Each structure stands twice: as C-alpha cells, then as structure tokens.
Amino acid sequence: MVTKESWRRQVGRDGGLPLFRAAGIPVLLAPSWWLGSAAIVVLYAPLVERIAPGTDGLTGVLLAATFAVFLGLSVLAHELGHSLVALRLGLPVRRLRLFLLGGVSEVMRTPTRPAHEGMIAAAGPIVSIVLAGMFSLGAMAIPHPDAVWLLIAQTAFANAAVAVFNLLPGLPLDGGRILRAGVWAATGRRSAGTKAAVVGGGVVAALLVVWAIWGVLEGSEDRWIRFGVCLLTAWFVVAGARGELAAERKRAWPDGLTLSELVRPVLQLPAESPVSGALTASAGRGVVLVRADGVAAGLLDRDLARRLASTSPHAPAEQAAVPIRPETVLLETETGDEVFERVHGTTAGEYLVVDLEGRPAGVLRRADLKAALDRR
C-alpha cells in the first residue's frame, strides 16, 4: 500500500514539492518557482502605489503576492489543458511541474499522429486565451482603476502574454510543436517537423536577444529587467530545442533494422522449476514461467534469479518472475517506431513478443535494443 508520505517522497525526489493531484496527475512546485514569485512581488508592488495612491506598503505586497499566485494558477491551468487532452488521447502523463519560467506537462509517450501532437500543443494556449478573456471582462466591469483592477488587469495581460509567447513557432514552445505537427503531416516524417521547429526555436531565441540588446541601447526604463528576462528565456528556448533534437535522434528507428533481428528465442518452463535450472536455461533466450493451470506467472528476471539462486538454488523460479503486463507485450508485426515508443514509455527490462494469435514468439530485451540503436 502506498501511503501519502511515501508518495510525496517518490514523486518529489527530483521534481520539487508535491502539492496535490489534478485529474490524477501529481502537481509539483519546483524550487525555482519561489525565486520567480519573489521577483514578481518586487516588481509588482510599486505598481500598486502608482495606480492606487495612498495604498500602504503591506497591502501592495499582499496584492503582489496574490498576483504571483494567480499567475501560478494560470500556468497550472495552461499545463492542465495539455495534460487532459493527452489523457483523452490515451497518452499517460507522469506529472506536472511549475517552475521559474512557467510549467511543463511530462507526457510519457510521444504522440503517434500529427493531429494528436497538434491538439495537445494547442490546448494550453487555448486555455490561456480563455483566461485572458475572462479576466479582461472582469477588469472592464470595474469603473475606476484601483488596486483590485490592477490585479485583474495584470492577470489578463499575463495570460495573453503566455498564450502569444507559447504560440511562437519554435521548440520547445507550443507553437513549435504545432509547427512540427504541420510539417509532420505534410511530409510524413516527424523528424522533418522536429528539425523545422528547432530552427524556429533558434530564430525565437535570436529575436529575444536582439530585443534585450535593443532595450539597453535605447535606454528604456525596464532595460535591465528586460535584458535579464530575455537572456534567461532565450537560454531556455535554445536548451529545450537542443533537447528535442537529441530526443528525436535517439527515437529514430534505423532503416533496415527489424524487430525479428533483436528478438531472442523464448522457452516456456513450469513456474515451480528450480530457479537455478531456469537461470541456466535462460542463457541466450527469454523464459516464460507457466503455472500448473496454464496461466503465465511472468518472465524470468535474470538479476532476481541470480540473487535468489545464490541463496536458495532450489526455490521455485516463480519467485524471480516479473508479471507480464499489457504494456510489456509486443506484436511481432509492430513497426520499429511503435516498438520504440512502447519501450520508451515503460521501465521493463524484457518484453514478450507474441504472434497475431497471442502465442509467444520471442523476448525482446531492452539492453539488446539499446545496443542495436547505438551500433546503427
């Protein structure tokens, strides 16, 4: 049984502070979010005094902190738009993280269709546009500008800015993903779409740098803030685009490589067989352990089997079995890209390959696939 404490330790180990679950997705707050929120408070609080003279300093800070929270919730809604569409399309989402420059939805599998890629990417900006419209209507309902009006108007502007910026045609922005989907649909090759969107990301980063330098040369009032934010954002865009390109190269299935070249022969053994004998039989092949009633107990895990055999060589091999789950079963007719996506989306070490009638045809080991891709 997974307790709340163990869940928080597991999920927050490398992603930040676990907050709650939204639609079953863990939501985490990265440490950098606090830094960004502090900067917002410092920059926003003086505006309150300008718009509403006479407002005391504490009220200004509280309104600034409220704006930071509103902005965080807006980014959360934006990312939930991506996540909910991904879930709707059958793509699992590992978690949702909020950090200094926004947020990210960690979709565990790559969309297999250009339309799915475009739908997931467009969902976030659509949510931001809707929020911008709602807050704009709220601001227009206030007859005289005051501190509350400023809070609502700034939130409307922030959502509009998030939507516009994310629609720029360069990875890792949503607009870059939409561009990739379009090129992918036109050419039939996802890699071509990725390359086009990576170029777009480079253009976006270059424009950000130019705008930052222009502000310094022009002597604008916000030149140093603009300079720092633009350079940081440009670095984020370049790093994200390079990461997308590297991931695309890793996921590309080499021409001429077939699943049958990687599959090892499969052997079926009784689940009650001595683990030492099953381990010996597993040399160069996969082992499916079958119970007396004909139900598969799982695939023999060689590492578990070695540890068990070192202390109890006559123990039932079933004690070293890994259950066969739907996500660890491959059809021998699946394409290379489909195999790669399945392996990439799970953590299993071995996958059972079956024919069209569901009979075991072999076993694919993750290490064999990695070695083959590295060689190619």
| 253: three-class secondary structure by DSSP | coil
Task: Give yes or no: 221 in active site.
Answer: no
Within the chain, which residues score under 70 in pLDDT?
A: 1-15, 51-52, 54-55, 101, 221-222, 251-255, 345, 376
CB 4 within 8 A of CB 21: no
Binding site for Zn(2+), by residue number, is: 78, 82, 174
User: What's residue 19's pLDDT?
Assistant: 87
Domain boundaries, the chain: 4-251, 259-375
- Phi and psi dihedrals of 291, rounded to 5? -75, 170
CB 76 within 8 A of CB 104: no
User: What's residue 202's pLDDT?
Assistant: 94
Of the listed 5, 79, 318, 341, which one is catalytic? 79
d(CA 254, CA 309): 38
CB 237 within 8 A of CB 205: yes
d(CA 230, CA 222): 12
CB 267 within 8 A of CB 286: yes
How many residues comprise the chain? 376
Going by C-beta distance under 8 Å and a sequence separation of 6 or more, which residues neighbour residue 311? none
User: What's residue 2's pLDDT?
Assistant: 39
d(CA 365, CA 349): 6
User: What's residue 246's pLDDT?
Assistant: 83
User: What's residue 222's pLDDT?
Assistant: 67
d(CA 169, CA 49): 38
Strands, E assignment, 138-220: none
- What is each CA distance from 118 to 111, 175, 177, 185, 337, in whole angstroms? 9, 9, 7, 10, 19
Report the side by side order of strands in the sheet with 321-322.
266-270, 286-290, 296-300, 321-322
DSSP secondary structure of 60-89: HHHHHHHHHHHHHHHHHHHHHHHHHHHHHT
Query: Residues of 18-57 as b/e, b for ≥16 C-beta within 10 angstroms?
Result: beeeeeebbbbbbeebeebbeebbeebbebbeebbeebee
Binding site, by residue number, is: 78, 82, 174
**Number of helical (H) and strand (E) elements in the chain, helices listed first:** 13, 11
User: What's residue 15's pLDDT?
Assistant: 62
Beta bridge partners of 286: 266
Q: Could you tell me if residue 103 is left (phi over 0), alpha (psi between -120 and 50 degrees) or otherwise beta?
A: beta
- Phi and psi dihedrals of 304, rounded to 5? -60, -40
User: What's residue 214's pLDDT?
Assistant: 92
d(CA 66, CA 154): 11
State the distance between the two ends of the chain, measured CA to CA, in whole angstroms: 43
Alpha helices for 319-376 (secondary structure H): 336-344, 366-375
pLDDT digits (tens, 9 = 90+) for 225-251: 778 888 988 998 999 999 888 878 776
Class of domain 259-375: alpha beta
